[in-house]
Amino acid sequence: MTTAEEHKSNGIGKDLAIYACLLALAGLQFVIAYQNIDAPQMFMRMLVVAVVEAGLAAMFFMHLGAEKRGFLLFVAVFTIFVLLTLQYGWTDSYRMVTGAPFSK
């Protein structure tokens, strides 16, 4: 059975449930925005919520969870690896804050 036929056989209840979860998570981000916490902590909390939202959207709305396991791994591993390698510049960003000179 193809992914299309599998999708047809599922009810819309699942779609509505995921939609409600996404709305709730988006609302949670707005709640976090008004919490009395420092910026790094707020950023981490919002990022976690955003990653969960992205996971739900990718797995259920984009039907990545219903695809072949090998393809899911290809998308997930490739994307996460490149996202992680984009993080190399944060030490320089913090150096800008403190005004520390370049390393010798």
Partner 1 sequence: MSQTDLTMEGHSTGLTVGPAFSFPTKKLAMWLFIIADTMTFAACLIAYGFLRNGTANWPRPFHSITNVALMTFILLTSSLTMLFGLRSARAGDKAGAFRWIMITAALGIVFALLHIREWIGLIGEGMTLFKNPWGTGLFGASFFSITGLHLTHVTCGVIALIAVGVRYKGGRYNADDIEVLGLYWHFVDLVWMFVVPLVYLLNLAH
Counting contacts by CB under 8 A, is residue 39 touching partner 1? yes
Counting contacts by CB under 8 A, is residue 41 touching partner 1? no
Q: What residue type is 39 in one-letter code? A: A
The residues near 74 (Cβ < 8 Å, ≥ 6 apart) are: none
- From the list 1, 89, 101, 103, which residue makes contact with partner 1 (rule: CB under 8 A)? 89
The whole-angstrom distance between residue 81's C-alpha and the CA centroid of its chain comes to 14
Q: How far is the CB of 101 from partner 1 (least distance, A)?
A: 15
Task: Please report the DSSP string for 58-101 in residue order.
Answer: IIIIS-GGGS-HHHHHHHHHHHHHHHHHGGGGHHHHHHHHHTPP
Binding residues for partner 1, per CB under 8 A? 4-5, 7-8, 12, 15-16, 19, 22-23, 26, 29-30, 32-34, 39, 42-43, 46-47, 49-50, 53-54, 57-58, 61-63, 68, 71, 75, 78-79, 82-83, 86-87, 89-90, 92-97
